[in-house]
Structure 1
């Protein structure tokens, strides 16, 4: 039974990540299938204290992110799961094509990684802790603008 729960949790997170990082931004609707209505999220840039507590904010985060970064390649590097938690180490390659944190896009190709920890409830994501390698990401943005100054 335990192994079935672990595999179900891993499958839910894999489906969530595939939809939220798909080339088709409308695939963020996968959140309705994979996330509980009372989701709690921590560590998300652009939200007060990095936190929010609803599916629509989760969808908004991915939509805004996709406005800033296009031509994205997302890869899960490692997944570890238990009955209650799934952790995913991931990497994103993308083009800076829209303003992000006040930095105008310069079309630079960027790469950064991070880790997300998901607390699971009955096979759905109930809480997320996101840690992005922000120093790496931010060091790659606006380089052409910095040289022009």
Structure 2
């Protein structure tokens, strides 16, 4: 993919995230996607995302900066949402939370094959305490 195609790909990814469209996200993930520090595979990634969205049903991601090089994307995002469901053992607080997120994606033939990024869980949990 060209750098422009990767930028458009990421806009599609971000749109699917913000619509909470897990079916579309599955299409954008390689079935055996590797995630640094987390269980691999699209199913595990989507389960983690489902947990997040169940707890924060209005969760949104906003692009701050995007860098594309070869088949890789580096993204700086700002996230926000309201704690309405249990999250990692914490009962709903109604608190509005937001964290900075950084993600590094390797995209091959339109699918994420590798991902490394910041762990939102720690930042979210700190705001729920």
Distance in 1, Cα, partners of 2:5 & 2:42: 21
Name the residue aligned to 1:16: 13
For 1:52 and 1:40, how far apart are their aligned partners in 2? 8
92, 96, 102: which one aligns with 2:83: 96
* Residues 55 and 136 of structure 1, relative CA distance in 2, 3 Å threshold: closer
Cα drift, residue 65 of structure 1 = 0.6
Give the conservation status (yes or no) of the 8 Å contact 2:72–2:106: yes
Q: Structure 2 CA distance, aligned partners of 1:18 and 1:94?
A: 16
Q: What is residue 112 of structure 1 aligned with on the other side?
A: 99
CA distance in 2 between partners of 1:99 and 1:133 (Å): 16
1:99/1:40 CA distance change after superposition, 3 Å = same
Alignment of 1:2-81 (within 5 A): 5-22=2-19, 25=20, 27-42=21-36, 50-81=37-68
CA RMSD of aligned residues (A): 1.9
Please give the secondary structure, in 1, of the residue aligned with 2:26: helix
1:70 is paired with a residue of what secondary structure?
A: coil
Task: Identify if the C-alpha distance between structure 1 residues 5 and 72 changes in structure 2 by more than 3 Å, giving closer, same or farther.
Answer: same
Task: Specify every segment of 5 or more residues in structure 2 that has no aligned partner in the other structure, as ranges.
Answer: none
Q: 2:114 aligns to what SS in structure 1?
A: strand
CA change 1:110–1:32 in 2 (3 A) is: closer
Change in Cα spacing, 1:134 to 1:72, as seen in structure 2 (3 Å) is closer
For residues 32 and 73 of structure 1, the distance between their equivalents in structure 2, rounded to whole angstroms, comes to 18
